[in-house]
Chain A
């Protein structure tokens, strides 16, 4: 239905069987929109992503996801010494559309190559995944999500560890993919990038704020989101958010 949001959450709570890891989450993501997900490590960003993927069920509230979600994990979670090429990794996206007894065929590999070309890596398809740069690896994982024909892309800290040039190129690619009508959710610690998104969702085990980033991202919201762990960086012309702990949920 035109105009219907790809994702709608209302009063959503998600748990791992015990007390909820996140509560009171309400937001919507339309086609072509980019949502920045902000919060400390352990604040519930990954929990929300897993709920969007259908791996965790709502403990309370409602969650509607219309369209296939493709996940783009942190490349540091993948194994750099694994014997796969960029094309092998992109082709993995086809598995989500095939029954388990069907192997990806020539058509699927052509689709994977086209997805690599879409992320400007057509000429690196044969290279070993682990030998690509961090930004290129992130693009390969985006290509894998494109092969999945995902309408919603869930990116988990895609800019972590990238230099400024690679991060800017990746951000431009993400904007292009949104421009083609995909919904994009980006978990990030980077406030500048969050401010350039269409909307923002601040999480610290509960929803702190949601909506227009320019309105939502004030100091009080950030302090509530990051538990006051915001420090001035002398000489760096800005602030840094220091995650108070390192649990992943």
Chain B
């Protein structure tokens, strides 16, 4: 049980997933409550060309991922403005374009080998810079969520009424997306382009099965992300499986367990009564 802890690469991997899990689990709660899971997955995919370009140039992946996510966000905002285009359609068009561009770059003869690491991450070999970025993220995201907590809660509860409370739901959602983008850019280096969404959505979805209050949900999601992350690393160590994929599957297992436990423990609000069309006068 303690053998993996004696290995230097496992110590670094556990530190990396714990830091990413803290930030990803917490922000994931708002991603789930704001129904932004699709946006979270899409943002991760859309930075692929930036990752490939950074790998080609031999610079830190963060330098490629950051401009790519900004371009993707702006392109989504523009595409969604086209007549007859919803935000979902805008996201789908932009993400497909960006991911396709990334694949073209990755398969070009000039690309270095190791595209798999961009797609599936390299949680077992984080560089010092990756650990520092994850530590900054683990401080920044919870601090920002603490500051914005009541605004996020009020705008997510009833967007329409939030304006009447003097809040700006658009600005609150934009702040949430910026934090989500920052988390994605950092976490993608460990978990990869395809699997990063697991740590953003899975722990929060699991925590939601276990509690009906936001603060316990935030704490539970962060704890589940860290524990499932470490469990995934142990599976990877003993079974010789890929680190990122093992973590993703451990998070899914945590979700299934939480679902089963939640059904036993938690009473859910019932269905709404049918609304009468008119009142007899």
Interchain CB contact under 8 A, A101 and B153: no
**Contact with A233, one of B212, B273, B275, B280 (Cβ below 8 angstroms):** B280
Could you say which residues of chain B place their CB within 8 Å of the CB of A188? Answer: 279
Q: A83-B214, A191-B281, A240-B278 are in contact. Are A100 and B269 (CB under 8 A)?
A: no
Q: Let me know if B55 is at the binding interface, CB within 8 A.
A: no
CB distance from A241 to the nearest CB of B (A): 5
- Closest residue of chain A to B213 (Cβ to Cβ) is A83
Interchain CB contact under 8 A, B165 and A93: yes
CB distance from A75 to the nearest CB of B (A): 9
Interchain CB contact under 8 A, A92 and B165: yes
CB distance from B156 to the nearest CB of A (A): 7
- Closest residue of chain B to A236 (Cβ to Cβ) is B280
Complex interface: stretch among B107-115, B143-151, B242-250: B143-151
Q: Let me know if A84 is at the binding interface, CB within 8 A.
A: yes
Interchain CB contact under 8 A, B268 and A81: yes
CA distance A91 to B165 in the complex (A): 11
**Contact with A76, one of B161, B164, B217, B272 (Cβ below 8 angstroms):** B272
Place the interface of chain B in its size category: 35 or more
CB distance from B27 to the nearest CB of A (A): 16
Could you say which residues of chain A place their CB within 8 Å of the CB of B281? Answer: 190-192, 238-241
Q: A92-B165, A241-B278, A241-B279 are in contact. Are A103 and B149 (CB under 8 A)?
A: yes
Q: Let me know if B211 is at the binding interface, CB within 8 A.
A: yes
Q: Which B3-24 residues have C-beta < 8 A from chain A? A: none
**Contact with B277, one of A69, A79, A84, A243 (Cβ below 8 angstroms):** A243
Q: Let me know if A42 is at the binding interface, CB within 8 A.
A: no
Interchain CB contact under 8 A, B153 and A88: yes
- Closest residue of chain B to A104 (Cβ to Cβ) is B150
Could you say which residues of chain B place their CB within 8 Å of the CB of A93? Answer: 165
- Closest residue of chain A to B207 (Cβ to Cβ) is A83
CA distance A142 to B277 in the complex (A): 23
Q: Let me know if B276 is at the binding interface, CB within 8 A.
A: yes
Point out which of A73, A83, A189, A236 has the most chain B C-beta atoms below 10 A from its C-beta: A83
- 6 closest A-B pairs by CB: A191-B281, A130-B269, A71-B164, A96-B166, A92-B154, A190-B279
CA distance A81 to B217 in the complex (A): 13
**Contact with B273, one of A161, A189, A240, A242 (Cβ below 8 angstroms):** A161
Q: Which A5-61 residues have C-beta < 8 A from chain B? A: 53, 55
Interchain CB contact under 8 A, A128 and B212: yes
